[in-house]
Amino acid sequence: MPFRSWARRTVAAMSAIVGALCVVPFPLLLGQSMPAQAALPDNVAQTPRPPAPGESPALDSARAAMGAALTISIYTYGPGPAVFEKFGHIAIGIADARTGEDVAYNWGMFDFDQPNFLGRFLTGDTRYWMAGYRTFEFNTAYQAQDRTIRKQVLNLTPVQRGALYDLVAWNASEQNRYYRYDYYNDNCSTRVRDALDWVLRGALRPALDSTTGYRSWRGETARITAQNLPVYAGIQVALGRGADRHLTRWEEAFLPEYLAEYLAAVPVEGVTLVQQDTVLYRAQGAPLNDHAPNRIMPALALGLAFGVALFVLARVAPAVVTVTGVVWYAVGGVLGAALLLAGTITKHGPYMGNNLNLMALSPLLLFAAALWPWRGATDRRGRAARALALLTAGIALVGLVLMHVPGIWQQSMMVYMVVVPVHAALALIATRAARDSGATT
């Protein structure tokens, strides 16, 4: 594969692995380039949020008059063809009968040309913003991508409709539109959820503050990316223990499809929020999986096959095993260093920290890579190479045991099924090389 093609694929996979959820800039959907945004400095404070409904009788009166002419809808967009489009998208539609305006507001805007985009992306400090587009054009663009479009007209009072308009107008101003995007806790879908909770005076969150008992950040991300094996595997490596806890319905609403589902099904203080639910366009393509696939046994088969092949080749093609071992340990060490940094010094910590995969893929492997060619030597380098091979295999085995301990377990068994057999094979090869050369371990 040419290097440029490989690089493009790698960058795309990394972007999806980190979790570019719900973000398809609208101009890109139309095939247009996006102009660079003159983003505000990080230290510019937002203006105060407008008062919530019920805080000012005079303001509520004005909002009721304005809200009588407004229709508030939630537009949910199904998965698209690209990896980062698989998570769907969502927008708040506000139609004004007085002016004829019908605008869809979304919180999924970003710009590759903004200052230090890559550095912000890697450290979890990416800046996104909200913007509004004419609803007809917005929906037409998503339909052109063959993405299901669901429209839910909300059952809000005139005061609530007017208040939501005020909130969106406040948020759309230049000083207030930017925010730090978080893939699970603060994205295009959670912004819509939070806006509705605000206009309902905090009543939405208690209605969704229960768990289905089986959904997690890892599970949902794996389900959505299951058809792209490199990204799926990357998700298993990158996410730590925090990504495996069971989510509440409130937290599950990081995905637009679940937010739409709960808005339609869960009453809030005895009131049904959705008064009209319509599918404007239904995608012709195959839907996503209902559950994340279980790939533990195929991963084990891959790990065993690779490990056995290395063990056999060590006799007939030791040079191949030398190169393969160096590459294996080096890649694992680089991944381990990246996991360690992501979980400790970046803002990805809540879901990439406390990662048991570090026991299988640790920075220690970089030292093993450097010394692997001397695994059969009788000097200090040979002893160090063999000790590191045995040590890294032993640590991985301990991690495999911990994966089954309640309170410590992590749902990334697929990683261990691939890594442990190869680590074990390399440790056996190093031990055999020492025996063949008459060296001591």
The predicted structure's pLDDT at residue 31? 42
N residues, the chain: 441
The count of other CB atoms within 10 Å of the CB of residue 270 is 5
Q: 229-238 vs 217-225: helix axis angle to the nearest 10?
A: 170
Whole-number pLDDT of residue 341? 94
218 near 411, Cβ under 8 Å?
Answer: yes
Q: Scanning the structure block, which residue is given the tokens 């007209």?
A: 153
Count of other CB atoms within 10 angstroms of residue 286: 7
- What's the pLDDT at 6? 37
Who contacts 328 (Cβ-Cβ below 8 Å, separation ≥6)?
Answer: 369, 422, 426
CA–CA distance, 126 with 112 (Å, rounded to integer):
10
| 178 contacts 40 by C-beta, under 8 angstroms | yes
Which residue ranges in the chain fall short of pLDDT 70?
A: 1-44, 438-441
**Measured distance CA(147)–CA(80) in Å, rounded:** 6
Q: What is the CA radius of gyration of the chain?
A: 26
Looking up tokens 């139309």 gives: 30
pLDDT digits (tens, 9 = 90+) for 29-57: 444 334 444 444 565 678 999 999 999 99
Q: What gap in Å lies between CA 50 and CA 111, rounded to an integer?
A: 28
pLDDT, position 251: 97
